[in-house]
Amino acid sequence: MRTGLISTHEEEHLFRKLFEYYKKLYPKAKFRRIERKLTPRQIGQVYYTYPGEEAQVTFEEKEKEIAEALPFGYNTPIILLNAGNRMFLLDGHRRVRVAWMNKKGWNALLIYSDKRGIEFGIEKMAEGKVVDLWK
């Protein structure tokens, strides 16, 4: 694996931090962890969220590195918040785009909440579904 790519171990650590963060931020909601392999169609239904400040050149360079690592089995999971019947991207913005553009499935770690009536802050950062952003 290339050194510039996030490892599964690093993503697992981030997932645990995010899981605890959501539990503290929304104490009335019940959360659980779900691991899933998303199909290309399911990737298209993910709500892509604002990835933060980053130079476009860097983003494209990292995407290229991820795409080049695919034949070698690179598939560090993405992290999603599953709220109701919607999945919001928390981490793995480049990996989602690479998966979508290459029509590949991808592993995902989901913070799942079945609590209705809660609007999670991340929902306000959604730019749209992957399928609508990159046709």
Q: Show pLDDT as tens, one digit a residue, over the chain (135 residues).
A: 445 799 999 999 999 999 999 999 999 899 999 999 999 999 999 999 988 776 566 788 889 999 999 999 999 999 999 998 899 999 999 999 999 999 999 999 999 997 777 889 999 999 999 999 998
**Alpha helices of 1-135 — where are they, by DSSP H?**
8-25, 40-44, 56-69, 93-101, 130-133
Give the pairing of strands 78-83 and 31-38: unpaired
Contact predicate 49/81, CB 8 Å: no
Q: Which domains does the chain show, CATH number per domain?
A: 8-133 (3.90.1530)
